[in-house]
Amino acid sequence: MAVTDVPRIVTARLGHDDSHTLERYLATGGYEGLRKALTMTPEAVAAEVDAASLLGRGGAGFPAGRKWSMLRKDPVTYLVVNGDESEPATFKDHLLVERDPHQLIEGVLITAYALGVTQAFIYVRGEFALGLERVTQALNEAYDHGAVGTDIFGSGFSIDVVVHPGAGAYICGEETALLESLEGKRGFPRIKPPYFPAAVGLYGQPTVVNNVETMSNIPWILLHGGQAFAGLGEGRSAGTRLFALSGHVRRPGAYEVEMVKTTFRDLVYAPVYGGGVRGDGKVKAIIPGGVSAPWFGPDQLDLPLGQDEVGNAGSMLGSGAITVMDSSTCMVRAAWRITKFFARESCGQCTPCREGSGWLERVLRRIEQGEGREEDIDLLLDVSDNIAPGLQWPPQQTTICVLGPSIPSSIHSAIDMFRDEFLLHVKEGRCPGG
């Protein structure tokens, strides 16, 4: 089992019960990365992050350094942190927000300095009530400590940070929807182009939107250098990543592992991670990157946890959520529940997504309830094809954002891998699992 002994980067403090306090943070090297950054030029700070080859940890995996370099020059620019973690089975940002809010804030401050933004916002999912309390408390402490506000640590650099609560909408994790939401509107994703908020973002101004885990890596990168970070992992996937492991494993939890050097099998079976399938059962399928990702079978467990490795195998690491389904799982029911989620959360702007998700949910429900017809299976694929033509990976898009084309992932996977289960539901007129 490959459990590498690389340093923990974003979870170093989580062994302490008081990991969220300023006291603990300062006792464990807190705000040293910011102090170091303030002795450097903003350009040198950005270069350090670029050298780290840090890929965004939100879902799309876009290089953070490149995102920063795309920020259009303008007197007024913004930094917005995406803490609206809502991809089903993802709970790693939740952990970082609740358990190490100062690390997040320090990352925000270093980034704000590197980019020279006018103001920074941390958008936290509304359901994270404790997380919102912890970040607000940490921000108050950081202001009192002189780490935020005017003339930070006597450097002359000044920035204000505002914690902004969401109010319950999956779609607000999409960065342009998040900006709409932050502007006090419905979370409708914006029409592209412009593709990047770095050109047109919050209030139309150039804006960098970065994920919580991405930001939480920044203090370590500043302290230890971009090269040290790039030296971990392999290829395009540098550093460590925090994976949320759930489903039928003995020890579900969030585990920080070195990218590429660790495999799905390691994460599921190593005693320090998942500890194996519960009840000594067998893996029937895994969802490798949140419910928007196509599934893998047990034959793909030896794939390394790397962005390109998983991408080339036809899926994605996505939001870092890995869900294990054992042999007792009804795959029709699993696909139905995921599709019900998308049907509920579709924002309704685009017809293929709004209508398609509802049709797919209803057809899956009737199959699961034993009222399906044999031709329903191809009907599911046909409707899916209308949302994401060709059902290829990465998907073709017919909609404003990627929510729509994500809907077919689980349906296509389930039918592809377990068509006989769908047929059995139809023939027996009931769910064979009961």
Partner 1 sequence: MTHFDAETAARARELVKLYPEPRSALIPLCHLAQEQDGWLRPEAMEEIAALLGITPAEVRGTATFYDMLHTEPVGRYLVSVCTNIACLLGGAEGLLEHAERTLGVRAGGTTSDGMITLEDAECLAGCDRTPCVTVNHRYVGGLSPHAFDQLVADLRAGRRDGEIPPHGTLVRVRRNGGLRVDKERIAAERAATADAQAARARAAKEAAEAQGGAAEAKGGAA
Cβ–Cβ < 8 Å for 13, 190 = no
- By CB under 8 A, the residues from 46 to 105 that bind partner 1 are 74-76, 85-91, 93-94
- By CB under 8 A, the residues from 14 to 53 that bind partner 1 are none
The correct pick among 150, 312, 351, 396 for binding partner 1 (CB under 8 A) is 150
CB nearer partner 1, residue 269 or residue 341 = 341
Cβ–Cβ < 8 Å for 206, 72 = yes
For the chain, counts of helices (H) and of strands (E): 16, 10
DSSP state letters, 300-353: GTTSBS-HHHHHHTT---TTSEEEEEETT--HHHHHHHHHHHHHHH--SSSHHH
The correct pick among 6, 69, 143, 224 for binding partner 1 (CB under 8 A) is 143
Radius of gyration of the chain from Cα atoms?
A: 22
DSSP state letters, 371-430: ---TTHHHHHHHHHHHHSGGG-SSPP--SSSSHHHHHHHHHHHHHHHHHHHHHHHHHHTS
Structure tokens at 348: 């309704």
How far is residue 89's CA from residue 205's CA, in Å, rounded to a whole number? 33
- Burial status of residue 85 (CB atoms within 10 A of its CB: 0-12, 13-18, 19 or more): buried
Count residues near partner 1 (CB under 8 A). 74
Q: Is 316 in the site for partner 1 (CB under 8 A)?
A: no
The correct pick among 79, 104, 108, 169 for binding partner 1 (CB under 8 A) is 169
Cβ–Cβ < 8 Å for 276, 314 = no
Q: Is 186 in the site for partner 1 (CB under 8 A)?
A: yes
On the CB side of 198, CA atoms within 13 Å amount to 15
CB nearer partner 1, residue 63 or residue 433 = 433
As measured in angstroms, the least distance from the Cβ of 380 to partner 1 is: 18
As measured in angstroms, the least distance from the Cβ of 31 to partner 1 is: 17
As measured in angstroms, the least distance from the Cβ of 399 to partner 1 is: 18
As measured in angstroms, the least distance from the Cβ of 187 to partner 1 is: 6
The correct pick among 218, 334, 403, 411 for binding partner 1 (CB under 8 A) is 334
Query: What residues pair up with 82 in beta bridges, in sequence order?
Result: 123, 211
DSSP state letters, 257-305: EETTTSBHHHHHHSTTTT-SBGGG--EEEEESSSTTSPPB-GGGTTSBS
- By CB under 8 A, the residues from 226 to 255 that bind partner 1 are 244-248, 252-254
The correct pick among 205, 369, 386, 397 for binding partner 1 (CB under 8 A) is 205
Query: What residues pair up with 387 in beta bridges, in sequence order?
Result: none
The correct pick among 12, 26, 133, 424 for binding partner 1 (CB under 8 A) is 133
Q: Is 408 in the site for partner 1 (CB under 8 A)?
A: no
Q: Is 418 in the site for partner 1 (CB under 8 A)?
A: no
Q: Is 156 in the site for partner 1 (CB under 8 A)?
A: no
Q: Is 155 in the site for partner 1 (CB under 8 A)?
A: no
The correct pick among 126, 231, 314, 389 for binding partner 1 (CB under 8 A) is 126
- Torsional sign, CA 296, 301, 305, 311: negative
Q: Is 358 in the site for partner 1 (CB under 8 A)?
A: no
Site string for partner 1, 279-308 (x = CB under 8 A): --------x---x-----------------
Which residues are CB-neighbours of 82 under 8 A, at least 6 positions away? 58, 123, 173, 175, 178, 209, 210, 211, 212
Q: Is 120 in the site for partner 1 (CB under 8 A)?
A: no
As measured in angstroms, the least distance from the Cβ of 418 to partner 1 is: 15
How far is residue 152's CA from residue 22's CA, in Å, rounded to a whole number? 16
Q: Is 338 in the site for partner 1 (CB under 8 A)?
A: yes
| H or E element that contains 243 | strand 240-247
Cβ–Cβ < 8 Å for 79, 112 = yes
Stretch binding partner 1 (CB under 8 A), from 158-166, 365-373, 387-395, 398-406: 158-166
As measured in angstroms, the least distance from the Cβ of 80 to partner 1 is: 11
Cβ–Cβ < 8 Å for 12, 28 = yes
Q: Is 207 in the site for partner 1 (CB under 8 A)?
A: no
Q: Is 225 in the site for partner 1 (CB under 8 A)?
A: no
The correct pick among 99, 145, 265, 333 for binding partner 1 (CB under 8 A) is 333
Q: Is 269 in the site for partner 1 (CB under 8 A)?
A: no
As measured in angstroms, the least distance from the Cβ of 109 to partner 1 is: 13
The correct pick among 321, 350, 387, 391 for binding partner 1 (CB under 8 A) is 321
Q: Is 111 in the site for partner 1 (CB under 8 A)?
A: no
